[in-house]
Amino acid sequence: MNDARTGSLSRATIAGSTRWSRRLRDVRRRVPRAVWIVALAIAAVYLLYLLAANVILRTGLLRGWLDADPSKLHLDYGSAWSPYPGRVNVRDLSLRFQDDNVQFFLELERASLTVDLLALTKRTFHVSALDGSGASFRFRHKLADAQGQEGRLAAYPPIPGFPDPPVRKPRPKEPIPDETYDLWTIHLEDVTTSIRELWIMEYRYRGAGTLSGGMRLRPARELWVSPSTLVTHDGVLSIGDRDILVGSDARVDAQVDAYDVRIPRGAGVLRQLTARADMRGELTDLAPFRAAYLNDVPIEVEGGRGPIGIVARVDHGVVHPDTRLEWRSAGVTLRAGGAVVNGDVAFVGHVDPGRGGAAAALVDPDARPALVGDLALGRARLTAGTDPLVLVEDARATIATGNTDLAETFPLSWAKVDAADVRAPDLPKLGALLLPAGVAIRKGSAGGSIHASYRGGAMDARTDLVVRDVDVVSERVGVAASGKAWGVISSRDVHSGVSFSGSGVALERAAVRIGDSRAEGLSIAVDAVDGLVRTKSSSAVDTTVGVRVTPGDQVLRLGASLASLPKPVGEAPAGPDARATIRVHGAAGGVDVRVLDARDGDLVVRGRIRKPSRTRAVGAFLFEVGLLRVGLEIAGGETHVRPFASRDWLDAQTR
């Protein structure tokens, strides 16, 4: 029975094969022979394409064609294959490029590309569509000189195959002429990919996001970035490897106009950039900014955590008036030596549009647009250890530059500082931090205000200070008093000099000790009739001060005791106050003080004393009481009284 079944199956199989063969012969008779030839030719071409394309992709022939100048353009990938003409699937794709100004490195973990095969015959790698994932993009701008920018360069992205730091070299003397130009063009369109890293200059983003757009690159000739969009969510922004922003949600739209890479130098390439960015997140720390930009400044920066929002608009390299940055923090700390400053900070950066804008009008008469930063400092304190030295309840500062072109430098054009409530509750501890050795404040407190403005090199400032029960001592001198001081500073050009005319000090209930001599109950007023600090060639101070001290008899007895003057001088009739006009010149070579005129009742004093650097003081004074004249000569660290000295003697001694 089994044999019968087997035979039946065999006959059925043979009958089925016969039917299919008959049908195939019928189809062949109905389809023209030419169609069969075309179909076989297409199949053969497809098989030939699969063989040739995948051999080119897998053996690295494509890499060799594109890498005509690997120092400028280099394409690489881990594996690639093509399922049909024009379609390529690739893994671990990388593209590296540099010209005279920029370098970048693009990596994709996976990508599917639609390639224009005809364009390959024109030495153009044209991708009309790219769908990828796991993109990493690193970009850095070449600098003219690395010196002084070591901190920033340390945060730049490393790019395999390119040396560090990225410094521009002189242009080659013989650029590639058009008739021999044969480098491959890279043209990417309709690119869409997820990202894992964006590292542009010192700023690095890691986290979720998508990137779409395109570019065209002709090495040593032209670069163009089509309108492109970056969207990120809940990522981390850092300077190099140091985090500065978390929870970052951002959208960036940007394009770079096609330009000849041989023409712009340095930051001039930014004039091809048009961009719009919106970002929100939480700033975590200011320390990375200090390490990148203020590495040579002996001030440590800590804290700064707080919300930040950025809206940036750039039109062909020029910052648009819609640009705005807002940040606030309840804790920023600065450390310098043993001093610590901390406080609340709020910052707003924006663009003053120019004409019609108050800040821009102050920058220059033409009222150009200005980048403006407004800083508010609240509840700030300067401490040494746990002791508060200076308290600032509320201070505000505004800085501005009259330039909004990213391709240019940003010199300070205008600034303003207002601190209405500044207090030093414990002057002894503050003095220990600021005063030189040998000078100390034993007690006292102070408080006041500071107002200053700067515009295009010109400066105006005023400081008002009230001191209470201050006692300052050194080895031979001591002053105890209460009163006030004010500083008035102005300059048309701070690079040439600064005037402090109008500054002064007024002390009440003052006690003055010089050596073993002492005077009490004095009122002292010192006014800078004119004062100038020259800075253009060599630093020097020139000032004329007016001094008034009441009561006059105390001053007369103190002066006579100090100079060991004859009794008639010390007992001369004193006036209600003593007045003096003194000219002071100070420079690197020493100090020169001229008493132009000093009067106390019947006593008149004139003279000069000089203290050259590294030598002892020398000088002479003439004391006149009626017909009595007494000279005082200072030399070699000693003083000598010259009875019956004349004015000619004084002139000879003080030339």
**Chain segment 202-250, per-residue pLDDT in tens:** 999 998 999 999 999 888 889 999 999 999 988 899 999 999 999 888 9
Distances, alpha carbon 555 to alpha carbons 50, 380, 549, 576, in Å: 109, 42, 7, 10
DSSP 267: G
Closest to 523 in 3D by CA, of 490, 483, 488: 483
Burial readout 75-90 (b: 16 or more C-beta within 10 A, e: otherwise): bbbeebebeeeeebeb
Residues sharing a CB contact under 8 Å with residue 263, sequence separation 6 or more, in sequence order: none
How far apart are the C-alpha atoms of 346 and 374, rounded to whole Å?
8
Query: What pLDDT score was predicted for residue 356?
Result: 46
Q: Where are the alpha helices (DSSP H) in 414-454?
A: 427-434
Alpha-carbon gap, residue 265 to 249, rounded angstroms:
33
Distance, CA of 156 to CA of 169 (rounded, Å): 18
Q: Check pLDDT > 90 for residue 505.
A: yes
Residue with tokens 């509840």: 379
For residue 291, give the DSSP letter.
Answer: H
Per-residue confidence (pLDDT) for residue 275, from 0 to 100: 95
pLDDT of 95 > 90? The answer is no
pLDDT in tens, 60-91: 656 565 555 667 778 888 887 777 777 888 88
Stretch 314-329: mean pLDDT: 93
> pLDDT, tens digit, for every residue of 116-173?
878 878 888 899 999 999 999 999 888 877 787 888 899 999 999 888 888 877 665 5
Single pTM value for the model: 0.76
**pLDDT band (50, 70, 90) for residue 502:** very high
Model pLDDT, residue 110: 94
Of 266, 247, 269, 267, which is closest to residue 258 (Cα–Cα)?
Answer: 269
Beta carbons of 400 and 415 less than 8 angstroms apart = yes
346-373 mean pLDDT: 70
pLDDT of residue 1: 47
Q: What is the tens place of the pLDDT at every residue in 411-445?
A: 888 899 999 999 999 999 888 888 888 899 999 99
More confident residue, 149 or 355: 149
Report how far residue 35's alpha carbon sits from residue 26's, in angstroms, rounded to the nearest whole number.
15
Per residue in 571-606, pLDDT (tens digit) is: 677 788 989 999 999 988 899 999 999 998 888 999
Q: Is residue 361's pLDDT more than 50?
A: no
Greater confidence (569 vs 96) lies with: 96
* DSSP letters for 460-489: EEEEEEEEEEEEEE-SSEEEEEEEEEEEEE
DSSP β-bridge partners for residue 275: 254, 314
29, β-bridge pairs:
none
Residue 539 pLDDT > 50: yes
Burial class (CB in 10 A: 0-12, 13-18, 19+), 430: buried
Alpha carbon separation from 192 to 108, 110, 215, 548 (Å, rounded): 11, 12, 12, 81
| In the predicted structure, residue 362 carries a pLDDT above the cut 70 | no
Instruction: Please determine, for residue 489, whether its predicted confidence score (pLDDT) is greater than 70.
Output: yes
Q: How far apart are CA 271 and CA 318, in angstroms?
A: 7
- Position 34 pLDDT exceeds 50: yes
User: Tens of pLDDT along 387-401?
Assistant: 788 999 889 999 998
Say if residue 463's pLDDT is above 90.
yes
The per-residue pLDDT for 344 is 93
Question: What are the structure tokens assigned to 372, written together?
Answer: 């403006």
The pLDDT tens digits of the residues spanning 332-342 come to 999 887 788 99
Where does the pLDDT of residue 15 fall: very low under 50, low under 70, confident under 90, or very high at 90 and above?
low
Residue 637's Cβ-side half-sphere holds a number of Cα atoms within 13 Å equal to 3
pLDDT at residue 240, rounded to an integer: 92
Q: Is the pLDDT of residue 107 over 90?
A: yes
Residue 15's CB is within 10 A of a number of other CB atoms, namely: 9
pLDDT, position 190 = 94
Q: Is the pLDDT of residue 360 over 60?
A: no
Does residue 321 have a cis bond before it (omega within 30 degrees)? no
Span 41-66, pLDDT tens digits: 555 655 655 555 555 656 665 656 55
> Is 242 in contact with 215 (CB distance < 8 Å)?
no
Confirm if 374 and 398 have CB atoms less than 8 A apart: yes
- Of the chain, the percentage scoring pLDDT greater than 70 comes to 84
What is the pLDDT confidence band of residue 283, given thresholds at 50, 70 and 90?
very high
Query: Could you report the per-residue pLDDT of 169-206, keeping only the tens digit for each?
Result: 766 557 778 888 888 888 999 999 999 999 989 999 99
- Average pLDDT over the chain, rounded to whole? 84
Q: In this predicted structure, what is the pLDDT of residue 640? A: 87
In whole angstroms, give the CA distance from residue 110 to residue 80.
10
Q: pLDDT by residue (tens digit) across 634-652?
A: 887 788 888 888 999 999 9
Is the peptide bond prior to 165 cis by the omega test (within 30 degrees of 0)? yes
């030399």: which residue's tokens?
Answer: 635
